[in-house]
């Protein structure tokens, strides 16, 4: 069934470009009406781009941070990998502080630290080359994982199904092809997904500005709905699966994802719609026991007070802007990763696929 998928045709959108000297990031604040790249010449610029959502999406921010470490390595002098590790630590901590919820950021930085430790063991081998090789490996592994998850997740979906997705989990949020959007792409190619619905995903509108634009580039018809229309859509029987991404998957199967995911899971269970979470194993955090321990990022309330720069709320009104929530494992029918599928996840089934912390 994978021969139905022309993966190369999904590679048109490249949110992260390493030029050899700088990191170019497709500015997702400007999409879909302007295609502009932010050129980052140092790791601080990468950290700022991650915090400002010029680049966003759990896997994508990990990949960008890895290249940020490569840029930091270009900016220091160090006799060997041991000295480099000490001199680079402030830059890694600054990158890690850019956003708290997606574990992929910390996971990628831990991979970069490990690459330095390995170079250290190699008696001061070319540690800059080791960092660049690791950043490239993180990126290529993510693309391979997405392509594998696409087919794996699609295999759960019966022919002609309707699917609702949330936020953006496509090429813009990853090294390519996407996580939940990869399942939708594979499912459409195989005739398993017949109808695609995307929630606008207030307040940053990742669904309205990014997901339906990505699918349009693929020639895939998607219907945009207001977040508030999701339960009404499910009640009408048009949707058999809700398919979403993740920012952190805990040891007991609880999942942090874009705000609004939790209420989609509640509505899905009420209406007999199945709920699938799709994420690479770099999003699994077996060291975090449950979702109530996850730090939920709260962003500027101003993101709620207007749209595209024009204010929609009266002056002086208070707003609260948590941008993630936690869906408990008992509301999830399947967690799909490149390592395999955990159906009806719980601590034991998570351990059997991912081992202990
Ligand atoms: C495959 S992206 C995973 C995840 O990241 C997004 O958050 P954000 O747009 O704030 O970076 C969203 O929660 C996606 O589901």
Count CB-CB contacts under 10 A for residue 338. Answer: 20
Q: Running DSSP on this structure, what letter comes out for residue 86?
A: H
Nearest-CA residue for ligand 1 atom 8 is 57
Q: Hey, which bits of the chain come out as E strands? A: 16-18, 23-26, 37-40, 161-165, 193-199, 223-225, 241-244, 248-250, 255-258, 274-278, 284-285, 306-307, 310-311, 324-327, 334-337, 340-343
Nearest-CA residue for ligand 1 atom 11 is 57
Give the Å distance between the CA of 161 and the centre of ligand 1.
Answer: 24
Sign of CA pseudo-dihedral 135, 137, 142, 147? positive
**Does the annotation mark 247 as catalytic?**
yes
Q: What is the pLDDT of residues 81-110, one digit of tens each?
A: 999 999 999 999 999 999 999 999 999 999
Task: Kindly give the number of the ligand 1 atom that is closest to the alpha carbon of 256.
Answer: 13
CA 211 – CA 100 distance, rounded (Å): 23
Q: What is the pLDDT of residues 252-311, one digit of tens each?
A: 999 999 999 999 999 999 999 999 999 999 999 999 999 999 999 999 999 999 988 899
Q: Which residue has the tokens 């997904």?
A: 193
Q: What is the pLDDT of residues 126-151, one digit of tens each?
A: 999 999 999 999 999 999 999 999 99
Task: Kindly give the number of the ligand 1 atom that is closest to the alpha carbon of 279.
Answer: 1
Whether ligand 1 lies within 6 angstroms of the CB of 59 is answered as: yes
Whether ligand 1 lies within 6 angstroms of the CB of 146 is answered as: no
Task: Kindly give the number of the ligand 1 atom that is closest to the alpha carbon of 181.
Answer: 1
CA 278 – CA 292 distance, rounded (Å): 20
Q: Running DSSP on this structure, what letter comes out for residue 294?
A: S
Nearest-CA residue for ligand 1 atom 1 is 169
């Amino acid at each position: 069934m994978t021969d139905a998928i022309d993966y190369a045709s999904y590679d048109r959108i490249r949110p992260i470009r390493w030029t050899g000297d700088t990191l170019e990031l497709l500015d997702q604040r400007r999409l879909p009406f302007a295609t502009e790249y932010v050129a980052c010449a140092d790791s601080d610029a990468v950290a700022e781009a991650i915090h400002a959502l010029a680049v966003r999406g759990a896997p994508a921010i990990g990949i960008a941070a890895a290249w940020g470490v490569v840029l930091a390595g270009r900016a220091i002098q160090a006799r060997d990998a041991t000295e480099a590790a000490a001199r680079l630590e402030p830059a890694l901590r600054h990158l890690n502080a850019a956003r708290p919820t997606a574990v992929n950021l910390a996971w990628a930085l831990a991979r970069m630290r490990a690459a330095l430790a390995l170079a250290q063991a190699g008696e001061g081998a070319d540690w800059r080359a080791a960092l660049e090789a690791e950043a490239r490996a993180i990126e290529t592994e993510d693309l391979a994982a997405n392509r594998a998850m696409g087919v794996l997740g699609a295999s759960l979906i019966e022919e002609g199904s309707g699917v609702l997705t949330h936020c953006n989990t496509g090429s813009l949020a990853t090294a390519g092809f996407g996580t939940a959007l990869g399942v939708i792409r594979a499912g459409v190619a195989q005739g398993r997904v017949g109808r695609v619905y995307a929630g606008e995903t207030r307040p940053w509108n990742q669904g309205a500005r990014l997901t339906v634009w990505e699918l349009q580039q693929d020639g895939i018809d998607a219907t945009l709905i207001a977040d508030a229309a999701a339960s009404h859509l499910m009640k009408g029987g048009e949707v058999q699966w809700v398919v979403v991404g993740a920012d952190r998957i805990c040891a007991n199967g609880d999942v942090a994802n874009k705000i609004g995911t939790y209420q989609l899971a509640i509505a899905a269970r009420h209406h007999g719609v199945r709920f699938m979470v799709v994420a690479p194993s770099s999003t699994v955090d077996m060291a975090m026991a449950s979702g109530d321990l996850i730090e939920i990022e709260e962003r500027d309330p101003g993101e709620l007070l207007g749209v595209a720069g024009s204010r929609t709320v009266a002056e002086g009104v208070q707003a609260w802007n948590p941008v993630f929530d936690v869906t408990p494992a008992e509301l999830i029918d399947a967690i799909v990763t490149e390592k395999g599928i955990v159906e009806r996840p719980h601590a034991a089934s998570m351990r059997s696929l991912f081992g202990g912390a």
